[in-house]
Amino acid sequence: TKQGLGFLPGYPLSSISGSIFYFLWGGGAQAPPRGCYVAEEAGERTFRCSQAGLVAVPLGIPNDTRKLYLDANRLASVPAGAFQHLPALAELDLSHNVLVRLSDAAFQGLGNTLRYLDLSANQLTSVPAEAFRELQIQVNLSANPWRCDCALQEVLRWVRLAPGTGAGIVCGPSARPELVGREFLSLIEEAEMCGSGRGGAQRGTDAALLVTMGGWLALVVAYLVHYVRRNQEEARRPPKLPPTLPTRSEDSSMLSTVI
């Protein structure tokens, strides 16, 4: 009963009831960490570890978890395969941590299920595009000190921003000085990001011109090499002697005179 649960000091009702749900639903013998609990929200298995003081992704998350909340902790990184044992995971909240790094394979195994990812309010300056290429998700990237470079633009080609979060993607101190404090989406068409925009277009034109000039130079060099080798081969050949006319012997001349 509620009154009976009250005799357990230091454990909130939600945490204790969540632990009971965990065992009743066959979560296994390992109880969730303190501050974490299992619940059913809108008919979906939910595992909440908000403000639990976590420094790593916890163990004991049920395999059939659909929603996972790890927000407001002290997670600094997400290693490869951190969630690959959760084949049903559809929503993942990693906001309000101290994330500075994501592995290329941080969301490995979630390509068929994950639909929403919250990475807002962390310390991310860059994330690898490879981490998102197997996913079809909405993502919240706001409130991070982004470097605002080609890598971030590449990420945006693979994900859809959660509605209303685009304005929160702002260039941080690690960006070029003229970009600090500006919204990244407004820069994509005008800054030199991955060869796009006005400056990038000029850079692309210059690169194409250099490639063309290099091709012509290679042809000229190849012709000169061929010409020099041909002259060297002809110089090594023995000179051709002019053809000689047959000479008449003295006897032949005399015989011809007698006749």
Domain assignment of residue 223, yes or no: no
Q: Pick the residue with more confidence: 78 or 253?
A: 78
Domain assignment of residue 22, yes or no: yes
The stretch 63-70 carries a mean pLDDT of 97
Spatial contact of 175 and 167, defined as CB atoms under 8 Å apart: no
The pLDDT value recorded for residue 150 is 92
Number of independent structural domains in the chain: 1
Domain assignment of residue 147, yes or no: yes
Lowest-pLDDT range of 13-22, 56-65, 81-90: 13-22
The stretch 27-34 carries a mean pLDDT of 66
The stretch 172-193 carries a mean pLDDT of 89
Domain assignment of residue 237, yes or no: no
Confidence of residue 102 (pLDDT cuts 50, 70, 90): very high
Q: How many residues does the chain have?
A: 259
State what percent of residues in the chain have pLDDT above 90: 56
Domain assignment of residue 131, yes or no: yes
What value does the mean pLDDT of the chain take?
80
Interval 114-131: pLDDT, tens: 999 999 999 999 999 999
Measured in degrees and rounded to the nearest 5, phi and psi for residue 223 equal -65, -45
Confidence of residue 219 (pLDDT cuts 50, 70, 90): confident
Exposure on the CB side of residue 134, measured as CA atoms within 13 A: 14
The pLDDT value recorded for residue 209 is 62
Domain assignment of residue 210, yes or no: no
Q: How much is the pTM?
A: 0.67
Helices (H), 6-84: 13-24
Distance CA 24, CA 18 (A): 10
Confidence of residue 61 (pLDDT cuts 50, 70, 90): very high
Joined tokens for residue 184:
């990244």
Q: Pick the residue with more confidence: 184 or 2?
A: 184
Q: Which of 89, 96, 94 is nearest to 61 (CA)?
A: 89
Q: Which of 140, 134, 83, 79 is nearest to 112 (CA)?
A: 134
Q: Pick the residue with more confidence: 28 or 216?
A: 216
**CATH number of the domain encompassing residue 77:** 3.80.10.10
Domain assignment of residue 202, yes or no: no
Q: Calculate the alpha carbon distances from 114 to 21, 138, 146, 174, 247 in Å.
A: 24, 9, 24, 30, 102
Across 45-83, b (16+ Cβ under 10 Å) vs e yields: bbbbbbebebeebbebbbeebbbbbbbbbebebbeeebb
Domain with 15 in it:
8-188
The pLDDT value recorded for residue 197 is 43
Judged against a pLDDT cut of 90, whether residue 24 lies above it is answered with: no
Domain assignment of residue 200, yes or no: no
Confidence of residue 5 (pLDDT cuts 50, 70, 90): very low
Judged against a pLDDT cut of 50, whether residue 213 lies above it is answered with: yes
The pLDDT value recorded for residue 87 is 96
User: For the purposes of burial, counting CB atoms within 10 Å of the CB of 195, is it exposed (0-12), middle (13-18) or buried (19 or more)?
Assistant: middle
